[in-house]
Amino acid sequence: MEQLRYNMVEQQIRPWNVLDLKVLNLLDKVKREQYVPPALKELAFMDIEIPLGHGATMWQPKVEARAVQALQLKPRDRVLEIGSGSGYLTALISQLAEHVTSVEIVPELLAFAEKNLATHRIDNITLIQGDAAQGWPGEYDAIVLSGSVPVLPETFKNSLKPGGRLFAIVGDDPAMHATLITRLASGEFESVTLFETVVAPLQNALQPERFVF
């Protein structure tokens, strides 16, 4: 198992410009295979999305690692995660931040994440069932959307504290872009495209106006 984990890091994650030692050490500390559905454990270290049911997936390991690295989390950060999934990304973030609020729309996935996180006694998190695809109350130092959105609602940007970072994968299949948005000041944002990918969408994501002939 440890050889497979080592191979995942060296062959998938490092080549994708994940070089932050804090993030690389996390991948050893938080055991990915313990958050994968039991029937799919053999897929834990493969360079694929892992289905969780209900249209949700675990991202490829390299995408998870790039997202955590991009957020540049600090020990006093309070983080909002949209889509708890299996709880794995939640667990990674929780090791670097002060607190994570994770909102999941599907009760079965919320229960799965809750069980996984409780097993590992991760307690600086609040799991909530709800639909947060178009925003969630509060102000946060960092926000991560664990599913793609065709259009990024402005509410997420406006929920960032000054200096806050938002990681979102925006676009429609086959053209999605992982984007990091930083709030520089009130009403002032910086947006950087990090890489292209395709991931499963958030349920009830905001849709663009489509031109109809």
Domain boundaries, the chain: 2-197
d(Cα 5, Cα 3) in Å, to the nearest integer?
Answer: 5
Q: Note the pLDDT of residue 103.
A: 98
199 closest CA partner among 135, 138, 150: 150
Longest distance between any two alpha carbons in the chain, whole Å: 56
Is the Cβ–Cβ distance between 120 and 133 less than 8 Å? no
d(Cα 202, Cα 102) in Å, to the nearest integer?
Answer: 14
Q: Would you state the CATH architecture of domain 2-197?
A: 3-Layer(aba) Sandwich (3.40)
Per-residue model confidence as pLDDT tens for the chain (213 residues): 999 999 999 999 999 999 999 999 999 999 999 999 999 999 999 999 999 999 999 999 999 999 999 999 999 999 999 999 999 999 999 999 999 999 999 999 999 999 999 999 999 999 999 999 999 999 999 999 999 999 999 999 999 999 999 999 999 999 899 999 999 988 899 999 999 999 999 999 988 876 555
Q: Note the pLDDT of residue 53.
A: 95
Q: Note the pLDDT of residue 77.
A: 98
Work out whether strand 160-172 and strand 140-145 pair parallel, antiparallel, or are unpaired. parallel
Chain position carrying tokens 């996984």 = 116
Q: Note the pLDDT of residue 209.
A: 77
Q: Would the CA dihedral through 169, 170, 175, 179 be positive or negative?
A: negative
CA 88-92-97 angle, 5° bins: 135
Burial class (CB in 10 A: 0-12, 13-18, 19+), 151: middle
Three-state SS sequence of 160-190: EEEEEEEEEEEEECCEEEEEEEEEEECCEEE
Is the Cβ–Cβ distance between 191 and 207 less than 8 Å? no
Q: Note the pLDDT of residue 185.
A: 86
113 closest CA partner among 132, 94, 133, 85: 85
Q: Note the pLDDT of residue 208.
A: 84
Instruction: Identify the helix (H) or strand (E) that includes residue 128.
Output: strand 125-129
Q: Which two tokens stand for residue 119?
A: 């097993």
Burial 80-118 (b: 16+ CB within 10 A, else e): bbbbbbbbbbbbbbbbbbebbbbbbbbeebbebbbebbe
